[in-house]
Structure 1
Amino acid sequence: MGKLVPTEGFEDGMDPGTERRRSMVAETTIPRQPHEKNPLWKDAGNITLLIVLYLLQGVPLGLSFGAVPFLLKSKLSFADIALFSLSSYPYSLKLLWSPIVDSVFFKAIGRRKSWIVPIQAITGTCLAVLGSRIDEIMNQEHLPVTMLAVVFTALVFLCATQDIAVDGWALTLLRDENKHFASTAQTIGLNTGYFLSFTVFLALNSSEFCNKYLRSVPATEGVLQLGSYLQFWGAMFLLCDAWLVCFKKEEIDDTETIDEIKTVYETIWKVCMMPHMKKFIGVLMVAKLGFIANEAVTPLKLLDKGLHKEDLALSVLIDFPFQILFGYYAAKWSSGAQPLRPWLYAFYGRLAFAVVGMLLVWSFPSGGVTSSYFFIVITATVLNSFTSTVQFVGMGSFFTKISDPLIGGTYMTLLNTLSNLGGTWPRFFVLEAVDHYTDAHCTVTEPESSVYPICLTDTQKAHCKSLGGECIVRRDGYYIVGIASVIIGLLTLLLYVKPQIERLHRLPDRAWRLRKEKSEDDGVNGTGGRSGETEKLMGQ
């Protein structure tokens, strides 16, 4: 089955910002001699600062990608959730404005603080204001989905922009011998923020969890409401921002080169226009079609069936350490000359677990979740996580292998942005299709009307029950979309993805490099032949 996190905007459910972390590791890891001691303590304060900044980014992302869709599901249809899912797009498209963030700044403030300071202030203020009204909004009978989507899209956009600036600051904030700890700080910070806003928040927001484990006297609400949670983190954003303004000065690195915005965009365009890159982009755009329904809909469908939000959050928490373990072995398997070979094998596994997810929804116990059923859910989640991690690491290894070292950061960010976009663009249409193909109506009509109410949300089902009727599902669009997704995925794999991957594997690494403009010196230095050879390879 799919991972139990609605992973909009994430590459296969991984934490946001991973694409920049890959490029950061590729560009900044400095090999040290075996006898050299690592003066980590000299950068302890800066590493802590990076962890805090990444943690703050992870908080709104955990809400937008994880907790809020689960809270909304009881009152919204899948089509409404599809609209809200558009809020994840900024994280998949941040490459479009990352050259601007890297190039435009006020020298007196600092290249990175010019962006981080105002973004922290705006984000903190937005969270505080939203927190003062969100509980009232969430308790409305008819939720303003469009307004919520716009607000969280703005928050994700701010976090994505800050992520660009913080990633760039990490390259100059740490000493050369400690730069490889930037990716560690990002992993710790983003994951901590994400799980605080997803796993921890859903548990403390659940009345069932709090009554069972935290209270002696039962209550109808959890101990933590969304409004107070947002206000707390709004205050944390503003406090961190004040500290940055008053106490943290950004050092100016005179050796750091700043590319012109136009040059960066021209480079991105040239990379995309390489013939074999066009084919690879086609693979990235369709590679996730086979299991996108499972990843996007199955967790929400289980929630709709009666699995508690805190149980879903617990499954994610249990799955997290396994991801780390699987990542280690996946990296070993993907380190050869053909790193996408394990990726292809894992493709079959993810298609299989898409079928398993549908079986779990179909066989949901009518009397409620049992221990054995929940164990099967966790097992399926962990095993699907294994196949997902193998694909993620394998694709990352291939990106590292083919990236042009001269433009490594831009190249890696471009590839990972395209990969993330391949998992983002179908999600809206899949969620919309589930409602479109679902036929669920109440058995009685509305008073003074001959219309049979539809039964797609918990609110609509409760309304039908209040009328003395019963909701009858004549056709469940989840199974139609899920089966179609698996069939399309299998056909795409066999007829397009696998043949293209095998062709791309046969290309030498130099075929992925951008050619330098031919100059008069090329003929003098005898490089004309190599240039011709590269041009031939690029035309394959």
Structure 2
Amino acid sequence: MSGVPHQLARHDYKAFFLLVVLYFLQGIPVGLAFGTVPFLLKSGARETTFTQLGVFALATYPYSLKIIWSPIVDSIYSKKTGRRRSWIIPVQLASGIILWAIGFCVSNNLVFAGIDDSYSTGNAPVKQGVRPTDITTLTICFLLLVFLCATQDIAVDGWALEILSKQSLSYASTAQTVGLNTGYFLSFTIFLTFNSSDFMNRYIRSEPLEYGLISFGGYLKFAGTVYLAVTFYIMFFTNERPSNCSVLPSTAKKSDEKQVIDYNVETGASSISLKNVYLLFFKVLKLPSVRSLMLIHLVSKFAFQCNEGATNLKLLERGFKREDLAVTVLVDFPFEIIFGYYVAKWSSSATFGPRKFERSNFFARMLVGEAGILTPWLWGFLGRLLSAFLAGILVAKFPSDGIVTRSYFLMVIFQHLLGSFMTTVQFVAICAFHTRIADSAIGGTYMTLLNTFSNLGGTWPRLLVMTMIDRLTKHECVGTGAQPLDATDEGLCKAAGGTWMIVRDGYFVSNFCCITVGIVLYFTFIRKRAQRLQLLPESAWHCS
């Protein structure tokens, strides 16, 4: 590919915005499972341990295991409904119903008991707080929801390769970035902001109340309704393939005896048997280029796990007010959308191999090597390392008197913006790269394979790192005379009249280990391997 257009083709506008909406729906469960529920567990029930949060993180694993069933999604479908719509419609219907059902159970204290007590009990609001939560039940509920979301992601990724014309294909990553970020921030940042009574009383209301504007159960039912509304639109107002979309089969001639893919001109889709999808899938796995990329994905996100999984929770634990944190993350939202758009243009303008007429300066070569298609992703990695380092300083320097100064608050905002920006840089850059190298013959499965290992790199270390924080944290029971008391847990300590104090915070040890491992991996393996991969031609990634 010699170059990629900088503008989205006019005839692809409708398909592009449809992709944005579909990725937006995916962002809703992702924001709930990855952000909102862990935040509510830690802020609402202080006794929730980081190990329990690590257990709940198992609910996010379907995103990292979806490659197992992606060939089924790619090969089994109704010809009348369409290859992608056959899965998107029923999966979204089920997701909407489950979201609404979980919301009903939360509102009636059947799941996550007590989280909405401040909103209504009878006719009068009360504030009782979160009661001991059955982590297993909560994990199972969101495991099912994320499983459906992951299945939807397989179908949407495949559809993105088919409903956009070739000249606009690179904008699939832009749609994914804008849609996912918007859905994620709606379910995490914006929801937590308007769920916080402290935020509403401080910034919105003239008379304080004991509850926020939106309950957790109410939001879940609202999200379920949005899912159902969009699904009905897809059922009645969309086609499998727009008539003006130019898609060409990337397969051999039909007369070839080894032909395993039957291209349907009417639907614009490749009809592949389940057996042949798996055969092509294993061919892809044997490609040296794909193996190298998968290895990078598996190890590259370990460095950021402590920061992204525990920093905000540690700030809350130390006394950072929830409404201040809500403002901090709310500031991120417009920047995320702006970042996503411009980073997508940056990534889409890159080409395979070294950039002609462009040579990196000495400083850039030392950090990321010669400029190429993966250069944005490499810069993003270094930026996330810096953000993790700054996060450790912020937690360590939290004011001992609990009073957050303006300068400290601005530093928290800066650290959040830096982390969000660099995460967006990496996400958009790698999505654009995946879209460019994927073989459209098995588009959904190929994209899912690459995205699966990218997601797995961020999920497999989470339980390990969260458990490390608890295991490496050392407590001591101190009496009124500052003398240690013989108490082995917080309950016995308080019963003896002592104070349960942290004498060694496992967060700092874990964050230091993550950052150190990340630096070593980057300069000994990741940078060199990425430089090799960006020099490969597109043919090195195709097996059909």
* Normalised TM-score (structure 1): 0.75
> Which of 424, 432, 440 is the matching residue for 2:459?
424
Is the counterpart of residue 316 in structure 1 residue 332 in structure 2?
Answer: yes
What is the Cα-based RMSD across aligned positions, in Å? 3.8
What one-letter code is carried by the residue in structure 1 that aligns with 2:333?
Answer: L
User: How much does 1:331 deviate?
Assistant: 2.8
Q: Distance in 2 between matches of 1:410 and 1:54?
A: 17
Which residue number corresponds to residue 371 of structure 1? 406
SS at match of 1:452: coil
Contact 2:72 2:274 in 1 (8 A): yes
- Deviation sequence 1:133-166 (CA, Å, 0-9, x none): 2142242521111111111111111112123334
Q: Distance in 2 between matches of 1:51 and 1:349?
A: 27
Q: Distance in 1 between matches of 2:530 and 2:229?
A: 49
Which residue number corresponds to residue 37 of structure 2? 68
SS at match of 2:411: helix
- Unaligned 5+ segments in structure 2 are 115-129, 242-263, 355-371
What one-letter code is carried by the residue in structure 2 that aligns with 1:479?
Answer: F
> Which of 182, 200, 208 is the matching residue for 1:210?
200
Which residue number corresponds to residue 54 of structure 2? 82
Is the counterpart of residue 355 in structure 1 residue 392 in structure 2?
Answer: no
- Deviation sequence 1:326-375 (CA, Å, 0-9, x none): 61585389546233455445544433332221111100112232221111
1:413-492 alignment, distance < 5 Å: 413-443=448-478, 452=487, 454=489, 468-492=497-521
Which residue number corresponds to residue 25 of structure 2? 56
Contact 1:438 1:475 in 2 (8 A): yes
User: How much does 1:444 deviate?
Assistant: 6.5
Contact 1:54 1:189 in 2 (8 A): yes
User: How much does 1:92 deviate?
Assistant: 2.6
Which residue number corresponds to residue 5 of structure 1? none
- Deviation sequence 1:273-320 (CA, Å, 0-9, x none): 234543443332222222322222222222222232413432432541
Shifted more, 380-389 versus 355-364: the winner is 380-389
User: How much does 1:210 deviate?
Assistant: 0.9
Contact 1:339 1:395 in 2 (8 A): no
Which residue number corresponds to residue 290 of structure 1? 303
> Which of 287, 306, 309 is the matching residue for 2:319?
306
Q: Distance in 2 between matches of 1:421 and 1:285?
A: 6
Contact 2:157 2:448 in 1 (8 A): no
Shifted more, 319-328 versus 100-109: the winner is 319-328
User: How much does 1:391 deviate?
Assistant: 3.9
Q: Distance in 1 between matches of 2:426 and 2:82?
A: 38
Structure 1 428/441 Cα, relative in aligned 2: closer, same or farther at 3 Å? same
Which residue number corresponds to residue 4 of structure 1? none
Contact 1:334 1:394 in 2 (8 A): no
Q: Distance in 2 between matches of 1:30 and 1:502?
A: 21
Contact 2:178 2:341 in 1 (8 A): no
- Unaligned 5+ segments in structure 1 are 1-25, 517-540
User: How much does 1:261 deviate?
Assistant: 2.0
Structure 1 491/259 Cα, relative in aligned 2: closer, same or farther at 3 Å? same
Contact 2:343 2:429 in 1 (8 A): no
SS at match of 1:132: helix
Is the counterpart of residue 99 in structure 1 residue 71 in structure 2?
Answer: yes
Contact 1:353 1:380 in 2 (8 A): yes
> Which of 88, 93, 98 is the matching residue for 1:126?
98
Which residue number corresponds to residue 86 of structure 2? 114
Structure 1 444/322 Cα, relative in aligned 2: closer, same or farther at 3 Å? farther
User: How much does 1:418 deviate?
Assistant: 1.7
User: How much does 1:168 deviate?
Assistant: 4.1
User: How much does 1:80 deviate?
Assistant: 0.7
SS at match of 1:258: strand
User: How much does 1:464 deviate?
Assistant: 6.3
Structure 1 471/325 Cα, relative in aligned 2: closer, same or farther at 3 Å? farther
Q: Distance in 1 between matches of 2:538 and 2:240?
A: 38
* Normalised TM-score (structure 2): 0.75
Structure 1 306/221 Cα, relative in aligned 2: closer, same or farther at 3 Å? same
Structure 1 441/150 Cα, relative in aligned 2: closer, same or farther at 3 Å? farther
Q: Distance in 2 between matches of 1:276 and 1:53?
A: 30
1:173-184 alignment, distance < 5 Å: none
Contact 1:201 1:224 in 2 (8 A): yes
Contact 1:433 1:477 in 2 (8 A): yes
Q: Distance in 1 between matches of 2:440 and 2:102?
A: 44
Q: Distance in 2 between matches of 1:169 and 1:410?
A: 11
Which residue number corresponds to residue 182 of structure 2? 192
Which residue number corresponds to residue 272 of structure 1? 285
Which residue number corresponds to residue 526 of structure 2? 497
What one-letter code is carried by the residue in structure 2 that aligns with 1:419?
Answer: S
What one-letter code is carried by the residue in structure 1 that aligns with 2:461?
Answer: P
Structure 1 402/435 Cα, relative in aligned 2: closer, same or farther at 3 Å? same
Shifted more, 207-216 versus 505-514: the winner is 505-514
Shifted more, 418-427 versus 130-139: the winner is 130-139
Q: Distance in 1 between matches of 2:160 and 2:387?
A: 38
- Deviation sequence 1:472-501 (CA, Å, 0-9, x none): 112211111111112222222333334444
What one-letter code is carried by the residue in structure 2 that aligns with 1:496?
Answer: F
User: How much does 1:70 deviate?
Assistant: 0.7
User: How much does 1:271 deviate?
Assistant: 2.5
- Deviation sequence 1:516-538 (CA, Å, 0-9, x none): 7xxxxxxxxxxxxxxxxxxxxxx
Which residue number corresponds to residue 147 of structure 2? 157
Shifted more, 187-196 versus 294-303: the winner is 187-196
Overall identity of the aligned pairs, in %: 42
Structure 1 468/152 Cα, relative in aligned 2: closer, same or farther at 3 Å? same
Shifted more, 377-386 versus 48-57: the winner is 48-57
